[in-house]
């Protein structure tokens, strides 16, 4: 394989080159400069750039203790373009961090996660995977092998909707459970410290049981969060509109349908165990965006 093609693909697309790219270069069908131009002008590189920009935005927001909202992403992108900067920006220097569902996570997300600099970063998944800078634990999130209050912060990004469902698509076998998401949340509450936080993202819209994942309405997700012992500190809805990803109204999110390759809408939320969250409810009652969905449905 041509060494230049390998180095170019690793640098630009963050992956190994396919045989076609290397072969075309070796046969003189394209020059080195033309190969680089094709790589940089590809949709694949646009996605690399988009997610890289998301990581940079998250770093910038963390430096100023920011909470980015009203993010935007192009229509061809999937929900990772808003999930990654939204969630990673909200890291606040916690020492003990848990990530649930890391094994099949977006590489850019894992890059940003391990770059947070947490003193202890643990990844839990039913599948086994090696990620540099992360201690891997093979376990079911509904029965975590950790003591109570083991973590200060947990991430659960595009994972909760799969728990208790048919995970054959991920080549793992697990116990089916209709309310697996609620069981996982109760266990996450157990392993979070009294002042711990859970950052979560889930697809939302019309209720849709696809076998391998369960999409709930926004109100249903909030009820599941609260039923598991969490208070919703902050939430935001995004919809995949014809002109791209943008913040959604509750009505827009309620009617969203899961697409062929991406969610129709997503709910992003920061949750606190209720014992700590009730105190926060009083301390931050003037925070404009806290508990937005619950406020809308109880008004």
Q: How confident is the model at residue 283 (pLDDT cuts 50, 70, 90)?
A: very low
What is the C-alpha to C-alpha distance for residues 197 and 88, in angstroms, rounded to an integer? 13
Average pLDDT in the 241-260 region? Answer: 95
- Written as one string, the DSSP assignment of the chain is --HHHHHHHHHHTSSPPPHHHHHHHHTTSS-HHHHHHHHHTSHHHHHHHHHHHHHHHHHHHHHTT----S--B-TTS-THHHHHHHHHTT----SEEEEESGGGS-HHHHHHHHTT--SEEEEEESS----TTSEEEE--GGG-SS-TT-EEEEEEES-GGGTTS--GGGT------TTHHHHHHHHHHHHEEEEEEEEEEEEBSS-EE-SS-EEB-HHHHHHHHHHTTEEEEEEEEEEEETTEEEE--HHHHHT----SSS-SEEEEEEEEEHHHHHHHHHHTTT-TTTTHHHHHHH-
Residue 296: per-residue pLDDT: 55
C-beta neighbour count of 235 within 10 angstroms: 23
pLDDT higher at 87 or 1 = 87
pLDDT tens-digit profile of 109-122? 999 999 999 999 99
Residue whose structure tokens are 């937005």: 292
Residue 68: per-residue pLDDT: 97
pLDDT higher at 120 or 289 = 120
Average pLDDT in the 245-268 region? Answer: 95
Res 291 pLDDT > 70: no
pLDDT tens-digit profile of 86-103? 999 999 999 999 999 999
Q: Mean pLDDT highest for which of 20-34, 42-56, 153-167?
A: 42-56
Residue 130: per-residue pLDDT: 94
pLDDT higher at 60 or 212 = 60
pLDDT tens-digit profile of 172-225? 777 788 889 999 999 999 999 999 999 999 999 999 999 989 999 999 999 999
**Beta strand pairing status for 96-100 and 151-157?**
parallel
């Amino acid at each position: 394989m041509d060494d230049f093609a390998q180095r170019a693909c690793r640098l630009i697309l963050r992956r190994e080159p396919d045989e076609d790219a290397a072969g075309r270069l070796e046969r003189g069908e394209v020059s080195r400069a033309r190969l680089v131009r094709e790589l940089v002008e590809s949709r694949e590189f646009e996605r690399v750039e988009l997610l890289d920009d998301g990581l940079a935005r998250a770093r910038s927001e963390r430096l100023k203790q920011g909470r980015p909202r009203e993010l935007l992403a192009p229509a061809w992108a999937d929900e990772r373009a808003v999930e990654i900067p939204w969630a990673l920006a909200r890291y606040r220097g916690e020492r003990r961090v848990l990530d649930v569902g890391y094994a099949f996570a977006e590489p850019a997300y894992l890059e940003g996660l391990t770059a947070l600099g947490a003193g202890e970063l643990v990844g839990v998944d039913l599948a086994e995977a090696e990620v540099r800078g992360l201690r891997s634990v093979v376990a079911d999130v509904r029965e975590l092998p950790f003591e109570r209050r083991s973590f200060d912060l947990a991430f659960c990004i595009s994972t909760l909707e799969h728990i208790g469902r048919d995970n054959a698509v991920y080549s793992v076998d697990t116990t089916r459970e209709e309310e697996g998401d609620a069981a996982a949340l109760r266990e996450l509450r157990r392993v979070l410290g009294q002042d711990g936080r859970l950052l979560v993202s889930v697809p939302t819209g019309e209720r849709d049981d696809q076998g391998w994942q369960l999409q709930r309405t926004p109100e249903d997700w909030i009820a599941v969060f609260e039923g598991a012992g969490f208070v919703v500190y902050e939430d935001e809805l995004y919809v995949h509109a014809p002109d791209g990803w943008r913040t959604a109204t509750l009505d827009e999110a309620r009617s969203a349908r899961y697409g062929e390759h991406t969610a129709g809408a997503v709910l992003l939320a920061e949750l606190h165990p209720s014992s700590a969250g009730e105190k926060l409810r009083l301390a931050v009652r003037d925070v404009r965006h806290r508990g937005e969905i619950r406020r809308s449905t109880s008004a």
